Amino acid sequence: MESSNYSYDSVLIRAQSNHESIPITLLMLADPDLEAIEHYKAYCRWWTAEIANHIVGVCGVLQRAAQEWEIMNIAVEVDYERQGIGSKLLDEVLQQLKQYKAQVVTVATGNSSLGALAFYQKHGFRMIRIEHDHFIRHYQQPIIENGIVCRDQVILQKTWADSNSLSSVYPYTKEPYLAMLVSVRIAQMKDSGALVRMKQKLDEQTTFMLLEPGERNLNEAEQREMIRYALRSANSNIFLAEYEGQIIGYLEAIGGKVARNRHSVYIVVGVLQEYANRGIGRRLFQTMIHWAQDRHLHRLELNVQGSNERALHLYRSLGFRIEGIQKNALVVEHQYVDLIQMGLLL
């Protein structure tokens, strides 16, 4: 088809039904990782832009939580680029997501994708963080666009909750923009001492961790070995939240060690109290979930005290569901406390 044979009004935007196929060649214009496409394709909701029953554009979105969605792929055939079709498609998708009560829509692109960065910002998205060296770590072949090596992943976000603030994205947030200034990275062996000290401080600050103050016998050498194991493991990792050179939060993803549970990951997480309720725990979880999906892990699980309402709210918003309750499992400050088991299937 020649692009001159249609009018803008003749472009039909519609939702795809489950049985309809999506052109892989079109999806690969936006994402060259075929393995990743095959992983998320079945879980997305898809919209297409069509001209005379010919698909010229596609957009897939994945629901991350009750009111949070992520654009996983949006692409337009090369012959139809720069003719407003992508904008028409995205506008329709955003309107549909708004009807689904979405408050937040996120999208990720590369630092070298200058056109995409401009495109999303023109549609109301704002840059909220950068995942440094994402494309270097996850892609075997270098990506070069506009004469620039694609190294970093840029995360953009659009919200309808409040045009002037992101505070409603994090209902308990005191200072939502702090989360954007925090870097989340994988722990290295040199972090052992600082991480042990941070965990010990956290034990003193809150009763929501398992150990009481002074009970943590973990030393720097043992922590170093834990990090060494995680770095070598295919299904375990330790993520750190860092602000101004200080470790302020961590998330340990501990993968199963036998054939029957290697698809499963147990999670331990903590954030220093002076940085709590500011979206940092959510950042840690979102990074970990992307990591788990990249490795085709299937199940995430954790335990949380029944009295920890803020943590329960966060986990539910990320898609975790209550799977069981251990009545009076812990004694905290001379009171019996229930332990709630939660799980998320990816």
For the segment 44-70, what is each residue's pLDDT rounded down to a tens digit?
899 999 998 899 999 999 876 667 888
* DSSP bridge pairs for 162: none
Contacts of 288 (CB under 8 A, 6+ apart): 237, 239, 251, 253, 267, 300
For the segment 117-160, what is each residue's pLDDT rounded down to a tens digit?
999 999 999 998 888 887 887 777 788 989 999 999 899 999 98
pLDDT of residue 6: 59
For the segment 172-186, what is each residue's pLDDT rounded down to a tens digit?
333 444 555 788 899
Token readout for 294 is 């990249």
Strands 45-51 and 321-332, sheet pairing = unpaired
pTM: 0.52
